[in-house]
């Protein structure tokens, strides 16, 4: 059986979700945080015991929407060293990449953007991550462990969309946080 909870906003709702999970139900919900690892610390701040989180969470997905650059008016652009640094893109990777901005046109109503697309971060609960949660690991330690397993963060996902010519540096920087990993 699957239980869908619209949004977790308080301790009572978290406790209901945990009880359902402990009885064998797959529980799906939304929860507002900055990124996937911060969901764990927010649950703990709400008073949920780390061992309960470790035994009931399977996956945390963080999502942000970025505006999609208009294909009709996008133009290649050079990014400053400061922007590349904030995006955690090294000089070698920047040399081989094409980045875009848009000037605005009739097609996009002069905005330079047309539509939105998601960027994602996945935090998969394996035994290592569960042990870290129980041991009281920080968000940074959990994030680092996840990235060592090959799971990128929101910033990396956004940079990948930039490299595909789908969005701009400004958009990615507006919805991500600088503690993410180097891409």
Neighbouring CB atoms inside 10 A of 26's CB total 11
Task: Check residue 183 and give its pLDDT.
Answer: 36
Q: What is the CATH number of domain 33-175?
A: 3.40.50.300
Q: Position of tokens 């208009």?
A: 70
Q: Render pLDDT for 25-44 as a digit per residue (tens, 0 to 9).
A: 999 999 999 999 999 999 99
Q: Render pLDDT for 79-90 as a digit per residue (tens, 0 to 9).
A: 999 999 999 998
Angle between helices 139-148 and 127-134 (to 10 degrees): 170
Q: Render pLDDT for 60-76 as a digit per residue (tens, 0 to 9).
A: 999 999 999 999 999 99
What is the reported pTM? 0.86
Which one, of 112, 104, 120, lies nearest residue 168 by Cα? 112
Per domain, the residue ranges of the chain are: 33-175
Task: Check residue 180 and give its pLDDT.
Answer: 44
Task: Give the H/E segment covering residue 92.
Answer: helix 91-96
Task: Check residue 5 and give its pLDDT.
Answer: 94
Q: Give percent of the chain with pLDDT exceeding 70.
A: 97
Q: Position of tokens 């290649």?
A: 76
Q: Which residues pair with 64 in a beta bridge?
A: 119
* Residue 176 CA to its chain's centroid (Å): 8
Spatial distance between the Cα atoms of 117 and 166, rounded to a whole number of angstroms: 8
Arithmetic mean of pLDDT, 143-168: 94
Q: Which residues pair with 117 in a beta bridge?
A: 66
Residue 179 has pLDDT above 80, yes or no: no
Spatial distance between the Cα atoms of 7 and 153, rounded to a whole number of angstroms: 22
Contact 58/126 with Cβ under 8 angstroms?
no
Spatial distance between the Cα atoms of 134 and 27, rounded to a whole number of angstroms: 21
Residue 178 has pLDDT above 70, yes or no: no
At 91, list the tokens. Answer: 């000089």
């Amino acid at each position: 059986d699957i239980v869908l909870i619209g949004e977790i906003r308080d301790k009572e709702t978290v406790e209901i979700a945990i009880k359902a999970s402990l009885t064998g139900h797959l529980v799906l919900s939304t929860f507002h945080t900055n990124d996937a690892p911060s969901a764990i610390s927010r649950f703990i701040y709400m008073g949920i015991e780390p061992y309960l989180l470790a035994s009931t969470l399977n996956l945390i997905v963080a999502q942000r929407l970025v505006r999609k650059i208009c294909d009709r008016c996008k133009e290649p652009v050079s990014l400053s060293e400061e922007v590349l640094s904030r995006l955690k893109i090294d000089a070698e990777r920047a040399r081989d990449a094409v980045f875009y901005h848009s000037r605005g046109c009739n097609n996009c109503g002069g905005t330079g953007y047309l539509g939105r697309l998601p960027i994602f971060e996945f935090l998969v609960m394996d035994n290592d991550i569960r042990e870290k949660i129980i041991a009281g690991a920080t968000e940074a330690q959990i994030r680092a462990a996840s990235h060592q397993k090959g799971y990128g963060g929101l910033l990396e996902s956004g940079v990948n969309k930039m490299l595909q010519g789908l969005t701009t540096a400004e958009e990615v920087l507006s919805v991500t946080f600088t503690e993410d990993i180097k891409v």
